[in-house]
Amino acid sequence: MTATSKGSMQLLTEQDIVLSRQTVRKLAQELKFSLVDQTKMITAASELSRNTVVYGGGGEMRWELLQDGLRNGLRLHFEDQGPGIPDMDLALTDGWTSGKGMGMGLTGSRRLVNEFEIRSVVGEGTCVSITRWK
């Protein structure tokens, strides 16, 4: 598997969340994802960007365009140096929220993608990686 294109952007403000959605839309279109798959990836990216800004205190989104044989994919990483997630099992429970949200950010994003990985260390931050294949 080789990455053919990579990039990153800061996630610090509400405007950055909007820009992350626009970036993911452009990347998904370049990969010729179906409209449904574009929407799934954009929605997941929006939720994870918001988590990075609101709960992580800001961070960055990195992306990679992937190729694995005949398959193309898009992998996104959302990383912050925030407080971390003290109870991962609870955080990955449908409907649970540590704030005023609907509790769909992590679990909803996980359902929208083909691959989902999260690592978090209390006091050091969180990184969520998602991948969608065409």
**Bigger pLDDT: 92 vs 49:** 49
pLDDT for res 120? 95
Cα dihedral: 100, 87, 128, 97 (round 10): -10
Q: How confident is the model at residue 104 (pLDDT cuts 50, 70, 90)?
A: low
* pLDDT one-digit tens code per residue, 25-66: 999 999 999 999 999 999 999 999 999 999 999 999 999 999
Domain boundaries, given as residue ranges, for the chain? 2-133
Residues 6+ apart with CB under 8 A from 25: 38, 42
Q: What is the pTM of this model?
A: 0.89
Alpha-carbon gap, residue 70 to 20, rounded angstroms: 27
Lowest mean pLDDT segment, chosen from 12-16, 61-65, 104-108: 104-108
Write out the two tokens for 90.
């609870």
Half-sphere exposure of 1 (CA within 13 A, CB side): 10
Q: Which CATH number fits domain 2-133: 3.30.565.10, 3.40.50.1110, 3.30.505.10, 2.40.50.140?
A: 3.30.565.10
